[in-house]
Structure 1
Amino acid sequence: MSIAICIAAACLGAVLLLPACALARSATAAPASGIPATGVIGIEEGQLNADYWIRQQSKPDATILDPRAIAAQNKRLHELDASVHDIEHLPARLTRAQVREWIEAMSQPREETLYDERGEEIPAATLAALGDNLALDTIPAEQATRYGMVVRRADLRTFPTRLRVFNAKGDSDIDRFQESALFPGTPVAIVHASKDGKYWFVVSPLYAAWVEKDRIAEGAKAAIFDYTRKTPYLVVTGASARTVHTPEQPGVSDVQLEMGVRVPLLADWPSDKPVNGQHHYASHVIELPYRDDQGRLQFSPALLPRAADTSADYLPLTQANLVRQGFKFFGERYGWGHSYNTRDCSGFVSEIYRSFGVQLPRNTRDQAVSPAYNRIDLAEGLSHEERLKIVKTLEVGDLIYIPGHVMMVVGHEDGWPYVIHDTTGITFRDRTGELARVHLNGVSVTPLVPLLFNREQPTVDRITSIQRIRP
């Protein structure tokens, strides 16, 4: 390839390592620059769809892992990966030390200067009040383990607050208190309440953080975990799906369900029995959790339109399906920590794989080093040439990790891999040798090789590991 390409890592931790890229001029479609009309180096309009990449594969519909192999891999994840919480088998009583450890691991005092949405510095008194709201001194010496279930998509927060904070003036996009999101039907352990009574600290299978109480319904452990195992069920296979609006039962009205979410199907619902004031023949009758007036967990039938992108089971794990699932998010806005009702780079790949029943840790940090998968560790001392030999062997679905970012391989051009990823932007050198920056801020397809991480260093040389969800 005659054009040197540089992709700046999408997630903020990597972007902060790119001062040179911040000075780069914007890309244009000027012929002298060699940038295609798309404005993205190495990408033509015909490549902006799943079918283009699927046609390249010799066996696009061959099964990569069957359901038994996926179940075995998920079992390894829970056995070997310390970032995953087996909340179903927590002890019946939790100690103060355990609860405090969870909270302090998340809600660490902030020493750096932070700014609000207006670019004004967050006062030290405000940050101190956030620490006080943790109410660490009220954690009992011992407490019964309580359980709940997510009833609406819920933001996971570093501190029990909706305050959005940023690392720099003028940066109002990356909220440093936004951690992740939980989706309806997710079980959690409720381990503590904020001083103001508005938040719970919860431990979910993949993450522990603060969440607004009205997003969680407290219930009996048996009922919660029985719900997660009910059959038959539907799996959301579109980017998202939404239940039918119903004023009769607001708790299950307009509920957003993300890719890979599994919901019980009430397949034997009587044909002459309305669901929340509506005939159901145009919808699937599913069962959803909701929170009653006392904050307790209840379940109700709900309608999910048949037009929604769903499946009666997890999708077969094939190269064609991996590409299709990735492209269902194509063009969606990047959302740090699942901000903006969307997702970030690690959430993006997690939700793709969840539609096949494959579980991944939540963050790139944990995904990159998880011992549950077929991992290639790229040591720092590995030469550029040796790295190129490795990346040339990558296959569709392989996950590539650099500090703070992950990309998924979707295919190849001239033997070199292309990737789909949820990214803030890319930086590259055009044919004139000048650095150019494209502020993508969404799910995008880009070339991988050769890349520049900064003005001098190829991105390939920043790869820390490759996870292959395959034999």
Structure 2
Amino acid sequence: MKKFKLKSILAIFFTTIISTSVYAAGENHTQFKSNVPKVTEDMMKADFWIKNAKDKDKIIMDKASIEKYNKELEKKTPEVVDLKNYKEVFNKEELTKLIKDLSSPSSSPRYDKDGKLITEFYYNKLNENLNLESLKEENQVKYGITVRRTLMKTYPTHELLFKEGDDYEFDRLMETAVYPLEPIVILNTSKDKKWYFAQMYNYLAWIPAEDVAITSKDELFKYIDTKDFLVATGKRAFTVYNPLDSNLSEIKFDMGVRIPLASQKEIGDEVYGQNTTGNYVVKLPIRDDSGKMVLKYALIPRSEDVNIGYLPYTKETILNQAFKFLGERYGWGGMFNGRDCSSFIMDIYRSVGINLPRNTGEQGRKDPGKSYDMPKEMTLEQRQKLFDDMNPGAAMYMPGHAMLYLGKYNGEHYMIHDFSGFYNKEKDGSYKYYKSRQVMVTPVTIGSEDNGKTYLEDLYLGKEFILDK
């Protein structure tokens, strides 16, 4: 008996030592390694930059001001439209021009996924599916809503086309990702009936018909304008798994998606066999057998990163939202279930209720907002000084790229952005290219070209999304 007790005590003793050693090693474990100059591990956290910002919790614009800002944006930005007041009838000439302005063969060589050069015959087949011959002299629009995350394309096809050398990352027919519960106006249907030529609030392109539920204008906006709603405030939020209806099971909502809540009188004890306690009960659109919208109840766990209503528009909110994407893979136009540089900015601001244009060139126009102009002739010293006046959370633009300003630390200005790569100066004086392909923190002085030119030198505008003063 004594021998047994001694063995047991020794076993417990050595197990405790081993466990404690493993725990201690885990606490002290460091895996940070970076080829990004002037970036430390503590800079990878939102709190670092929030604490570094002045007036971090001050409201920048309240709800009424944000609504006014969105209206100003619609007036001054042709690409952002008010779907409630969208044109309801197009003549044949107008609609033909809209489609052809988007869906036209590239002037540069394009290759399929197998590396084969695309020919005129291929484009002719795509053009045939545009269904232009079916257009009438007067064409009434229809209304719909997306039921899942989907995409918009240059042509009505799921096929991918590439430039030589980018044979998996940059589909040149990809226009943009589209999130669930996005209202759209449908202008035309492809010849194969599988695609709609459609307008969302900031984009016009082809969308798969199977991802859209058709409804009337009145029913669409009655649903969309529900007074009480959730906002997906995490990188992604999901409905619970539903074993009885796959249309409602683990539906993914990207940051900024507005999700109508059921009213208290609509909520029962359970939804599809699951108790509603511990969840939010939401109303989601699905497609019935005829493709029309039907609303059904679904559950979103209260543990998901969601908020009742939009988040307050503060520096703290914007910085915190940005860092939820840190490390996410870059996705051209929304490929790879991700986002690109301009949708990174757009999704952050959607979570506070601000509707931005989709593309960098449109976002980077001066109006509306407070602009910090950086003309080409501006010196580096002048640019650095300009940053001292810019607030953390401001967007920054260079040709083809958008970034979010983080603030100044130890004399260096920093940004977080979703980008392809950068150049570092090597010991021999040459510049080596490093891939990023993700959301990452960098100084604004990081290399943009192999001649030593920096992002700072390429910038043409900083912009705070506030009402003009």
Structure 1 stretch 196-205 or stretch 102-111: which is displaced more?
Answer: 102-111
Q: What's the secondary structure of 1:152's corresponding residue?
A: coil
Q: Deviations over 1:31-77 (max 9, x none)?
A: xxxxx932221111121111111121232212222222212111101
C-alpha distance 448-468 of structure 1, shift in aligned 2 (>3 A): same
C-alpha distance 272-144 of structure 1, shift in aligned 2 (>3 A): closer
Partner AA of 1:302 in structure 2: A
- Residue in 2 aligned with 1:23? none
Distance in 1 (CA, whole Å) between partners of 2:422 and 2:265 is 50
Query: Does residue 1:436 correspond to 2:450, yes or no?
Result: no
Partner residue of 1:391 out of 387, 391, 394 = 387
- Residue in 1 aligned with 2:273? 277
How far residue 394 of structure 1 moved from its aligned partner, in angstroms, is 2.3
1:148-187 superposed matches below 5 A = 148-169=144-165, 171-187=167-183
How far residue 282 of structure 1 moved from its aligned partner, in angstroms, is 2.3
Partner residue of 2:49 out of 53, 58, 65 = 53
C-alpha distance 207-180 of structure 1, shift in aligned 2 (>3 A): same
Q: Deviations over 1:212-270 (max 9, x none)?
A: 10011110100101111102111111011111122433322221111111111114156
Structure 1 stretch 72-81 or stretch 370-379: which is displaced more?
Answer: 370-379
Structure 1 stretch 224-233 or stretch 87-96: which is displaced more?
Answer: 87-96
Partner AA of 1:395 in structure 2: N
Q: What's the secondary structure of 2:126's corresponding residue?
A: helix
- Residue in 2 aligned with 1:210? 206
- Residue in 2 aligned with 1:337? 333
Query: Does residue 1:95 correspond to 2:96, yes or no?
Result: no
How far residue 369 of structure 1 moved from its aligned partner, in angstroms, is 0.9
Contact 1:392 1:416 (C-alpha < 8 Å) held by counterparts: no
Structure 1 stretch 40-49 or stretch 203-212: which is displaced more?
Answer: 40-49
Distance in 1 (CA, whole Å) between partners of 2:352 and 2:442 is 24
- Residue in 2 aligned with 1:410? 406
How far residue 367 of structure 1 moved from its aligned partner, in angstroms, is 0.4
- Residue in 2 aligned with 1:301? 297
Distance in 1 (CA, whole Å) between partners of 2:136 and 2:450 is 50
C-alpha distance 153-272 of structure 1, shift in aligned 2 (>3 A): closer
Structure 1 stretch 406-415 or stretch 395-404: which is displaced more?
Answer: 406-415
C-alpha distance 218-334 of structure 1, shift in aligned 2 (>3 A): same
Distance in 2 (CA, whole Å) between partners of 1:345 and 1:372 is 20
Distance in 2 (CA, whole Å) between partners of 1:81 and 1:393 is 26
Q: Deviations over 1:345-378 (max 9, x none)?
A: 1001100011011111000010011522222333
Q: Name structure 1 gaps, 5 residues minimum.
A: 1-35
Distance in 1 (CA, whole Å) between partners of 2:410 and 2:426 is 19
Partner residue of 1:317 out of 291, 313, 316 = 313
C-alpha distance 338-164 of structure 1, shift in aligned 2 (>3 A): same
How far residue 453 of structure 1 moved from its aligned partner, in angstroms, is 3.8
- Residue in 2 aligned with 1:122? 118
Distance in 2 (CA, whole Å) between partners of 1:448 and 1:431 is 21
Structure 1 stretch 341-350 or stretch 137-146: which is displaced more?
Answer: 137-146
How far residue 430 of structure 1 moved from its aligned partner, in angstroms, is 4.4
Structure 1 stretch 300-309 or stretch 430-439: which is displaced more?
Answer: 430-439
How far residue 408 of structure 1 moved from its aligned partner, in angstroms, is 0.1
Q: State the identity as a percent.
A: 32
Please say which structure displays the higher CA radius of gyration: 2
Query: Does residue 1:73 correspond to 2:79, yes or no?
Result: no
Distance in 2 (CA, whole Å) between partners of 1:394 and 1:429 is 28
- Residue in 1 aligned with 2:40? 44
Distance in 1 (CA, whole Å) between partners of 2:306 and 2:211 is 24
- Residue in 2 aligned with 1:348? 344
Partner AA of 1:396 in structure 2: P
Contact 1:134 1:159 (C-alpha < 8 Å) held by counterparts: yes
Contact 2:196 2:207 (C-alpha < 8 Å) held by counterparts: yes
Q: Deviations over 1:249-299 (max 9, x none)?
A: 332222111111111111415665321232211211001111111000111
Q: Per residue, is there more helix in 1 or in 2? A: 2
Q: What's the secondary structure of 1:439's corresponding residue?
A: strand
How far residue 456 of structure 1 moved from its aligned partner, in angstroms, is 4.4
Query: Does residue 1:287 correspond to 2:283, yes or no?
Result: yes
Structure 1 stretch 213-222 or stretch 383-392: which is displaced more?
Answer: 383-392
Distance in 1 (CA, whole Å) between partners of 2:380 and 2:447 is 11
Q: Deviations over 1:69-106 (max 9, x none)?
A: 21211110112211112222123322222222321221
Equivalent pairs counted in the alignment come to 436
Q: CA RMSD in A?
A: 1.9
Partner AA of 1:236 in structure 2: A
1:234-273 superposed matches below 5 A = 234-268=230-264, 272-273=268-269
TM-score by length of 2: 0.89
Structure 1 stretch 115-124 or stretch 136-145: which is displaced more?
Answer: 115-124
Which structure exhibits the higher relative contact order, with contacts defined as CA atoms closer than 8 Å and separated by 6 or more residues?
1
Partner AA of 1:399 in structure 2: A
